[in-house]
Amino acid sequence: PSLPHCTPPILTAPLPPSLPVRISREEEKDELQKLNDRLAAYIERVHFLESDNASLRVRVKDYERDTNRRTASLQDKFEETLKSQQTALGSARRERDKETLSILERIELWVSFALFVAFYFLFILISCTAIIRLLLAICLFPQLAGRLAEANSKLAEEILLRVDVENRLQSLKEELEFRKNVHEEVIDNPSWVEDGFQQRLLLALQDLREQHAVQLQAYQQEIELTQQAKSADLCSRFAVFAVQVDAAGSRVHELEAMLESERKAVKERLAQYEQKVEDLQATIQEQLQDYQDLLDMKLSLDMEIFDYHIMDRRLHLSPKSALRKREAPSHPVRGSRKRKRVAFLEPIDASQNVSVQATARGRIGIEDVDIDGMFVCLVNNTQEDQCMEDWTLKRQIGHQAKIEYTFPSDYVLSAGKTVTVWAASGGVSHNPPTDLLWKNQSSWGTGDDIRTFLLDSTGKVSSHVLMHSLVDCHVCLTWILMSFNLIRKSL
């Protein structure tokens, strides 16, 4: 600040008469002249500094104006570049999703083909087993036929022996009856009739012998006819079996020819499929490399965005950032356990093989979820407080049953604030309004296909997050190649 232009009092005020004279008048004038010269030099120096300060202020204002203009132009250029990069990244993501779906479809096709080949070889194995059983039956047929012929011969001998025994028994009975009658007749008749009786006895014995001979011949003819019929039946059955054996042999040759042709066809198909698998593996490797390049590009873009936000906060270029960055939770976490988090606006590690899709439709959105199923974090994106009465959080893993968390009726989520709903095993105590503890549920659950929904009081979906693991293409292709190699070795 400038000093007031005034004359010191010592130049105008007269000396009091009571002051003792210590110096002469000349010395006093010289001293006053020196003081006036020093004061004039001081005033001149102050005027010079004021003019220099004014020029410096003008230069500072010009510099600030130039800096603001350059910063604004730099911000506009960066926002345009950021928009173009985001557009390119979105198109690259869509292309990546399409390629991933096509790869999954191809892998599913190869898996179905492997199952078809496995079922085909199982059918061939069953057919070979049936053929082996038929060949065993054919090999055992002569032995069974010999045993049947032996049994038939034994049966015929037993029948002949039985007929012979029956004939002998009948002849003995008749002889006994005849002797009994003769004895009675001898006793009853006198001796003069003995000659006539002997003559009649001889005649009767001769007739009896003739009858026995006729019966024996009839029995022999009947046995021969029976044996001939059985032999003819066995011959016909043997002929039928021989025809069946010939048919089975021809069928075996046909099946062997078919099996050989199928083996050749399968070998050719396996060679073609191996070539296709190699081409597909090369394509997948190239697509994975492109995907890795896209991830690297996204990581670099995220780092640039983060640097831009740091520069924005330092220079105070805009009151709000173009993209909202997730803030770290302000509440303390007890224990030294690390929390694995998936931030929707942060780069995703490709080694985790996790794809995250988040959608927010209402005022309250899902900001963060834990891969280990320890917590779910919500954020109020509006400038108004939101009553969470009858609001629910639902989690479904694959085809398992849904789990549901209902907010307390008196809970209110403040504007711009976050709340974390912890599972019972998360190691965090109940500390509303920033931390809510779900005491009845030990974990939110983990798996390959995780779906998290936030429903408002009317039952509409306010926000949802889909997390699913990507299939490791190298493992699937390795498994398919190993299966094909095993099938080829078995052939």
Task: Convert the pLDDT of each residue in 12-27 to its tens digit.
Answer: 444 444 444 555 777 8
Least confident of 15-24, 52-61, 73-82, 405-414: 15-24
d(CA 435, CA 418): 9
- For the chain, the residue count is 491
Task: Give me the pLDDT at residue 479, please.
Answer: 56
Task: Give me the pLDDT at residue 484, please.
Answer: 52
d(CA 208, CA 177): 13
Of the pLDDT bands very low, low, confident and very high (cuts 50, 70, 90), residue 423 is very high
Task: Give me the pLDDT at residue 483, please.
Answer: 57
Let me know if 77 is exposed, middle or buried by CB neighbors in 10 A (0-12, 13-18, 19+).
exposed
Q: Is 471's pLDDT higher than 60?
A: no
Q: Is 79's pLDDT higher than 80?
A: yes
Q: Is 353's pLDDT higher than 70?
A: no
d(CA 444, CA 429): 16
Q: Is 453's pLDDT higher than 50?
A: yes
pLDDT, one tens digit per residue, over 132-142 is: 888 887 887 88
Task: Give me the pLDDT at residue 378, please.
Answer: 93
Least confident of 134-143, 362-371, 378-387: 134-143
Which residue has better confidence, 353 or 195? 195
Least confident of 28-32, 157-161, 173-177, 183-187: 183-187
Task: Give me the pLDDT at residue 351, please.
Answer: 40
Task: Give me the pLDDT at residue 316, please.
Answer: 54
Task: Give me the pLDDT at residue 209, please.
Answer: 79
Of the pLDDT bands very low, low, confident and very high (cuts 50, 70, 90), residue 334 is very low
Q: At what angle do helices 473-490 and 25-188 cross, to 10 degrees?
A: 30
Task: Give me the pLDDT at residue 121, please.
Answer: 83
Most confident of 193-207, 307-321, 343-357: 193-207
Task: Give me the pLDDT at residue 145, please.
Answer: 79
Q: Is 207's pLDDT higher than 50?
A: yes
d(CA 340, CA 352): 11
Residue-averaged pLDDT of the chain:
76
Task: Give me the pLDDT at residue 212, please.
Answer: 77
Q: Is 359's pLDDT higher than 80?
A: no
Task: Give me the pLDDT at residue 22, please.
Answer: 52
Which residue has better confidence, 370 or 197? 370
Residue 180: other Cβ atoms inside 10 A: 10
**Average pLDDT of 308-312?**
72
Q: Is 414's pLDDT higher than 70?
A: yes
Task: Give me the pLDDT at residue 491, please.
Answer: 47
- For residue 397, give the nearest of 332, 473, 450 by alpha carbon: 450
Task: Give me the pLDDT at residue 14, please.
Answer: 46
Handedness of CA 296, 301, 304, 305 (dihedral sign): negative
- For residue 488, give the nearest of 267, 259, 273 by alpha carbon: 267
Q: Is 331's pLDDT higher than 60?
A: no
Please provide residue 360's backbone torsions phi and psi, each rounded to the nearest 5 degrees. Answer: -120, 125
Of the pLDDT bands very low, low, confident and very high (cuts 50, 70, 90), residue 326 is very low
Tokens of 129: 């087993």
Cβ-contact 467, 355 below 8 angstroms: yes
- Please list the alpha-helical segments (H only) found in 345-410: none
Q: How far is CA 199 from CA 3, 29, 194, 196, 204, in A?
A: 197, 219, 9, 5, 9
Tokens of 459: 């039952």
Please state, for a pLDDT cut of 70, what percent of the chain lies above it: 78
β-bridge partners, 423: 438
Tokens of 334: 């007890």
Q: Is 377's pLDDT higher than 90?
A: yes
Tokens of 446: 């983990």
Task: Give me the pLDDT at residue 318, please.
Answer: 42
Of the pLDDT bands very low, low, confident and very high (cuts 50, 70, 90), residue 165 is confident
- For residue 445, give the nearest of 376, 356, 372 by alpha carbon: 372
Of the pLDDT bands very low, low, confident and very high (cuts 50, 70, 90), residue 186 is low
Cβ-contact 271, 136 below 8 angstroms: no
Of the pLDDT bands very low, low, confident and very high (cuts 50, 70, 90), residue 276 is confident
Q: Is 482's pLDDT higher than 90?
A: no
Q: Is 337's pLDDT higher than 70?
A: no
Q: Is 3's pLDDT higher than 80?
A: no
Most distant CA atoms of the chain, gap in Å: 233
Task: Give me the pLDDT at residue 469, please.
Answer: 59
d(CA 294, CA 302): 12
Residues contacting 111, CB < 8 A, separation 6+: 476, 480
Cβ-contact 113, 301 below 8 angstroms: no
- For residue 219, give the nearest of 172, 160, 154 by alpha carbon: 160
- Cα Rg of the chain, angstroms: 59
